Amino acid sequence: MERTLIIVKPDGVQRGLIGEILGRFERRGLKLAGLKLMRIPRETAERHYAEHAGKPFYEGLVSFITSGAVAVGVVEGLGAIAMVRAMMGATNPANAVPGTIRGDFAVTVSYNVIHGSDGPDSAQREIALFFTPSEIVEYERATDRWGTE
Ligand code: UDP
Ligand code: MG
């Protein structure tokens, strides 16, 4: 089982897409192990996007991600990290295939609706940044057997 961090960014929340986006992960069979609505503090945003510090888009990115409410979730399942990335679509929505979240709901790279961890190390780091261990919920769903091998 893998866990990955997703963020419905401020544009996604403003546009009423939280349910649509979380619903896609649910319908796929992935499990929500953590969920919160929050306004990200600037220090948290800077740590979250530390790999991009110094890049031309960094300041705008941090301002944007802290500009309003976001929905942050931990998504769990077999191969969840790559699966969520595939469901998100390309970073630049111009290259995102229709059927992906960005390919269906976004037009510009600055406002691309969703974040998802890009690998096991970043998933672990990002989950710890947004959730305490007690905020991660372990529970069984009757349907879980259809998502295990
Ligand atoms: N971003 C941007 N301009 C760029 C590249 C990235 O505004 O030229 C933003 C975009 O919102 C992206 C985020 O920075 O989602 C993080 O970039 P990354 O390359 O990690 O893309 P992601 O992992 O979100 O697909
Ligand atoms: Mg990234």
Per the domain annotation, does 146 fall within a domain?
no
Measured by CA distance, the residue closest to atom 14 of ligand 1 is: 61
In a domain? residue 67: yes
Catalytic residue among 115, 116, 117, 123, which? 115
In the chain, the number of structural domains is 1
Q: Does the beta carbon of 90 lie inside 6 Å of ligand 1?
A: no
Which structural domain, as residue segments, surrounds residue 114?
2-138
Low-confidence ranges of the chain (pLDDT < 70): none
Do 63 and 49 touch, CB atoms closer than 8 A?
no
Radius of gyration of the chain, Cα coordinates, nearest whole angstrom: 15
Residue nearest to atom 15 of ligand 1 (CA): 91
Clarify whether 48 is annotated catalytic. no
pTM over 0.95: yes
Predicted confidence (pLDDT) per residue in 86-99, tens digit: 999 999 999 999 99
Residue 149's pLDDT is: 82
